[in-house]
Each structure stands twice: as C-alpha cells, then as structure tokens.
A and B are shown apart, each in its own frame.
Chain A
C-alpha cells in the first residue's frame, strides 16, 4: 500500500507525507518538507551582532520571541555580558506570552478538530463558541504581554544585546496583571476540554529532552536534561547532537548518541512535572495518567497543562516586575561594556544558548569575529529535533491503524493527527 498526503494543513509551514507498506511492514514513512531554503545560518554571517537577532526572529511568525531571545542569549554568552535581574524577568514574561499564544493556537485551531474528524475550524467555533473565545482571549493575553514589553507581538522590537531599548509602561503591565484571573479561567476551561478528550493509545519507547532548572519549571535556562538524570550544558549538547541532512530535503534531522528524541511540552512535563505551578500540578494529577508518559498524543494534553502553568507564572512575574523601578533603562551603561568587549575581540569569541520554545528546546550558537561580525552560526530548532522521532513514531504507529477495515481517509486522518500532535513548525525546521 502506498500512502501519500500532498499537503498537511493546520501546521505551521508546508509538509506532506508518504509511506510504503508491504505485507503489513512499513518500508518508508517520511514527512516531506515543502519549503524553500532561506539559508538563515548562512545569511547571518558577516552581519552585525546588533541586527542578527532581529533577522533570526523572522524564522518563525508563531514563535519570533524565542528566536529573538535565544539569539540574544547566545551573543551575550559569547561576549560575556551579564544582563540585569530586571531584564531576565521581563524576558521570561515575554516568553510566557509566547508559550501561551502558541499553545492556544495549536490546541484549539490546529489539533482540536482531529478529535472530531472535522476539517473546518469554523464548525468547531460553532460547536464550542465559549472555548473558541477562551482560546482567542488567551492569545490576546499572551500577545499583550509581548506587545507591552517588546513593542509588537510579532517580531518584537525592544529586546537587544544586554537588555531592552525601551522599558515597558508600568501602567500597562498593571492592566495585564488585572486580567490574570480571567486568563487563568480561560486556561482552566481549555484544559478541562482537553482533559475530557479521548486520546489514541499509542505507547512507544523514546528519550525526552528539555531544559532543566534547579529552582523552577525551566523555560529560560539552564541545563539540558536527557530522560532520566543525565544533564549537559547547551554548548556540550550542541557538540554531541548530530544533524543529518536527508537527500532532497531542506530540513535536517537530529540524533543524540545515535538515537532520535522528542522535545516539547510532553518532554518538559516528563522531565520537570514536579516544578509545575500549583493549579497546573493539580490538573495534571487529575488526568490520572502515569508520568512520564510514552504516548506522543499526550503532547497535546501537556500543552493544555502548560497553558495553566504559564498563566500562573505570568502572574508571579508581573507581581515581581511591578515592584521594581522601571523608569530607568540600564542599557546605556551596558553599551560601553558591549562596545569594549567587541573591540577586544582578537580572533573570535563564541557562545551557545538554549531556551524552551513552545515546541521544544531551541539552540543558537554564534562565533563572533572582529568588529562584532558573525563568523559562524548554528541554529537547531525544536521541529528539526523532533522530525526523526516523529518519523519513527509514524513507522511504529502505521501498522496499528492499517487493516481493521480502516478506510484510506481514516488512516490519513490518524497520520495527520499524530503529526499535528507534535505541533511541528516546518518553517522553523527549515529556516
């Protein structure tokens, strides 16, 4: 049997799927990438450290904040620049906005219809008008956080090497703080919907990789945790992870110690569930699932739980930030330090950084040469890491769904459901 899906809608970017099944054995299962090559890592070379983070944000219109911030973190690491506590709090808050708006988009608009065999979100909006407005208002909440701090929700403008070009308006942050209760309710409502759905039972062995932090549920740092207790620094992980380019494909596949692995919400919950905020933890417990879970479809549920966690976290961060003086920007002082560091570069300096993007860990590496020009650059996106694991999953899942009198359409729907459960971003995967 030959299965070919020309185009998978409701994912970010363009991809299809092909598989060949001979005597019940899957010979090939492949996600076909249908993007042009933008050569981001190439075009950033020879350009200034002060503009590359703006360009690289354009890798993804769904998660520009994390591209922007990971790029800045890698530059700061290379230049040995420490940012203020205030800057870190504001960056973390922007990231909460990003995770919230991305998860809300994926949960309601991309993945939900898969549970009903429906194809059209407009039908879903009619079926669940209140949940639709929960999803939209959460997107609005997340966007507002990014906009007030970043100057714009898509491709934010204020984050820069060493801090922010402009500090946010405290009054506007206060207004968002007032909206936290409402957002928490919406997140709870969406989580209830997703906790009540029936997930396909597909369990397989897989490694899960995410960031891990001693004190908090990790998004902004620190070490990379590989299922179990093994931990590496981002730079060390980048050294070990192997990227392969398949023939005829513009997206690369990643392997860790020769094995594919999964990143994203499920990996984070599997690795760090104990550090979730109280409400999120409560809902996770109510799911009556044994964690860590080896069912990739639960990535959807994990996002719903994280939605609650991130709203709780945003509230905490807002509270902390509102206690701080935001009237003065500390960048001017930093600019002299950055200038001096750039001037002192003899041959080159390099640095790596990682952040948890909505879809998993995002890595940036830069080598900076004289005059602050980028000499080398490496970006490994969550979807590029997930792709090999996703294809392996599809190979293992297909034999379970073919036969049993399933029609071709039903098989295709199940394949698409698994692909969408990973929340792939093909534009990120290609970049």
Chain B
C-alpha cells in the first residue's frame, strides 16, 4: 500500500439477511472510529455514492445465489487486494445451503409458480468461485472479532483465528456442559472464538462458525448416537449452516 493514502475498504453483500453488516454497525462509535481511518469504497448501509474502482479490502457477506451475485463476486475479486468472507453464508453457504440436502427443484416449485427465470444453483461458499484471503466466521459474526481482524487486514496483515473448539470459550465462561447433559452440542468440533453465546443461552452449538481444521467428526457423531439421537437428527443440525459437506467431503461410511 502506498504511503500517505488511507486504505480503501468496501462492505458488500450478496444474498443473505445482512445481519453481519448490522453486527458491524452495532459497534456504534467504535465502528465509526475505524471508518475515520479509511476511505469507504462502497457500503450501501451508510452511503449512496458511486462505488470506487479498487479496494484494499473488500468484505463480502452472503451467499452467491443469483447469476448476478456470482458475476459481482468475481468482479469484486478482480478489483480488490484482500477479499474477506464475512459470516457463515459467505464462508460456509449458510442456511440457504439447506436445499442442497433436499430436492432443490421441488423446493423451488413449492415457492414459485414461474420458475424459469430464477437461478437455483447448489449453494457453495464464495471460495468455490474466487480466491478468499480470509474468512470471518459466524452467524452473525462476532463484532469484537470483526474489529480485531479488520484492523489487522486494513494494516495489510493477514490475521489468525486460533484453532480452538467452542468448548474452549464455553469453559472460560464456566458454562455447564450441554453435551454432558445429553444435548446435541457440536461445540467440540466447531471453531471457537465466538465467546460461546449459544451454550451460554442453553442453546447447543449448531456449528455456524464451521468445523475446526482437519477435525474428525466421527467420535462426536458416535457419542450423539449413543445418547439416543437418530442419525437424521444429527445430520439436520450439521446441514443448518451448510457444514455437513465440509465435515464429510466424501459421503460418510455408515457408523
């Protein structure tokens, strides 16, 4: 990055709920302080100006669903130094991916009468289409984590999120273990750093931050089956944010 020039950042969304942008905005004054240090190239929540041609960092939220989403994503890649996946939809596929595990054509016909002109691709993370430099996980993202990693990215340094399970965060909070209580918690195999808001609310982890690197999900799966869960119930949880195909790139051997 040339000296004496403010870095140019953009926050862009494809198809999603836009909750990650809301999470960022909810940093309030702290986010506005970051904004002072950069030039905003595009952030439709705050301005209605023509977008700037190139970005140092572009944060992309949402899943590529429509043809236009995919064109936009590729175009953003060409115009940006760092492309960052913001949240579960961009980095995993998110809830829109549930249809991948169903009869997606039937789902389309159920919702729409005129289906010819509506795109219905399998939902893939944005890394399927373009090179992604960094992923900020979560549904929604943890705004503190966003602040931390975005400061690093804006300085031109790729940050790191430690490979620790959600259980690590949960223990720091001294929560009771939901898994030990017999609940279907995916905490042991999911990337932590979220401060465990779900288990802290007695809501078992359902994997919105994606699996730990090279994790073997089989032990947890066996444990849940032993606790009395049907395989279908376990699969449904893993499908919720689109991680089933991440933890089982090959169809799993019957356990």
Interface segment, one of B45-53, B164-172, B211-219: B45-53
15 A-B contacts, Cβ less than 8 Å apart?
A9-B45, A38-B63, A39-B108, A39-B111, A42-B102, A42-B110, A43-B99, A45-B110, A58-B17, A58-B19, A105-B22, A154-B23, A155-B140, A165-B203, A427-B18
A interface SS class: loop
- Residue numbers of A with Cβ under 8 A of B are 7-10, 12-14, 34-43, 45-48, 51, 54-55, 58-62, 64, 105, 109, 113, 119-122, 125, 133, 136, 139-140, 143, 150-155, 157-158, 165-166, 245, 247-248, 250, 416, 427, 430
Query: In whole angstroms, how far apart are the Cα atoms of A206 and B19 in the complex?
Result: 32
A105:B18 contact, CB within 8 angstroms: no
Query: In whole angstroms, how far apart are the Cα atoms of A119 and B44 in the complex?
Result: 10
- Which of the residues A43, A109, A152 comes within 8 Å of B45, measured between beta carbons? A109
Query: In whole angstroms, how far apart are the Cα atoms of A105 and B26 in the complex?
Result: 10
**Those of B80-95 within 8 Å (CB) of chain A:** 94-95
What string of 1s and 0s marks CB contacts (under 8 Å) between B57-100 and chain A? 00000011110110000000000000000000000001110110
Query: In whole angstroms, how far apart are the Cα atoms of A39 and B110 in the complex?
Result: 9
CB neighbours of A250 from chain B (8 A) = 112, 118
Q: Contacts A43-B95, A61-B22, A140-B28: A36 and B64 contacting too (C-beta < 8 A)?
A: yes
A157:B110 contact, CB within 8 angstroms: no
Tell me the nearest residue of chain B to A10, going by C-beta: B48
Tell me whether B200 is interfacial, beta carbon within 8 Å: yes
- Which of the residues B46, B95, B120 comes within 8 Å of A122, measured between beta carbons? B46
CB neighbours of B237 from chain A (8 A) = 51
Number of interface residues of B (CB under 8 A): 62
What string of 1s and 0s marks CB contacts (under 8 Å) between B171-199 and chain A? 00000000000000000000000000110
Query: In whole angstroms, how far apart are the Cα atoms of A62 and B19 in the complex?
Result: 6
CB neighbours of B107 from chain A (8 A) = 39, 42-43, 45
Query: In whole angstroms, how far apart are the Cα atoms of A14 and B44 in the complex?
Result: 9
**Which of A41, A42, A105 is the most central at the interface, judged by chain B CB atoms within 10 Å of its CB?**
A42
CB neighbours of A416 from chain B (8 A) = 48
Besides the known contacts A42-B106, A45-B102, A61-B16, 8 further A-B residue pairs in the complex with CB atoms under 8 A apart: A37-B111, A37-B118, A37-B120, A43-B95, A105-B22, A122-B35, A139-B28, A158-B201
Tell me the nearest residue of chain A to B140, going by C-beta: A154
Query: In whole angstroms, how far apart are the Cα atoms of A280 and B47 in the complex?
Result: 30
B23:A48 contact, CB within 8 angstroms: no
B197:A152 contact, CB within 8 angstroms: yes
A158:B19 contact, CB within 8 angstroms: no
B117:A165 contact, CB within 8 angstroms: no
Q: Contacts A38-B15, A58-B94, A120-B47: A143 and B201 contacting too (C-beta < 8 A)?
A: no
Query: In whole angstroms, how far apart are the Cα atoms of A42 and B98 in the complex?
Result: 10
Tell me whether B139 is interfacial, beta carbon within 8 Å: yes
Tell me whether B129 is interfacial, beta carbon within 8 Å: no
- Which of the residues A39, A60, A61 comes within 8 Å of B20, measured between beta carbons? A61
CB neighbours of B236 from chain A (8 A) = 47-48, 51
A64:B111 contact, CB within 8 angstroms: no
**Which of A58, A62, A247 is the most central at the interface, judged by chain B CB atoms within 10 Å of its CB?**
A58
Tell me the nearest residue of chain B to A119, going by C-beta: B48
A35:B66 contact, CB within 8 angstroms: yes
Query: In whole angstroms, how far apart are the Cα atoms of A166 and B178 in the complex?
Result: 13
- Which of the residues A14, A43, A64, A247 comes within 8 Å of B117, measured between beta carbons? A247
Query: In whole angstroms, how far apart are the Cα atoms of A143 and B20 in the complex?
Result: 14
- Which of the residues A58, A119, A157, A248 comes within 8 Å of B198, measured between beta carbons? A157
Tell me the nearest residue of chain A to B233, going by C-beta: A48
CB neighbours of B104 from chain A (8 A) = 39
Tell me whether B155 is interfacial, beta carbon within 8 Å: no
A245:B112 contact, CB within 8 angstroms: yes
B139:A58 contact, CB within 8 angstroms: yes
A247:B114 contact, CB within 8 angstroms: yes
B113:A245 contact, CB within 8 angstroms: yes
Q: Contacts A61-B17, A62-B18, A152-B197: A46 and B117 contacting too (C-beta < 8 A)?
A: no
Q: How far is the CB of B73 from chain A (nearest CB, A)?
A: 12
Q: Contacts A36-B119, A43-B107, A427-B16: A152 and B47 contacting too (C-beta < 8 A)?
A: no
A13:B18 contact, CB within 8 angstroms: yes
Q: How far is the CB of B45 from chain A (nearest CB, A)?
A: 7
Query: In whole angstroms, how far apart are the Cα atoms of A216 and B63 in the complex?
Result: 41
Query: In whole angstroms, how far apart are the Cα atoms of A378 and B176 in the complex?
Result: 37
CB neighbours of B206 from chain A (8 A) = 54
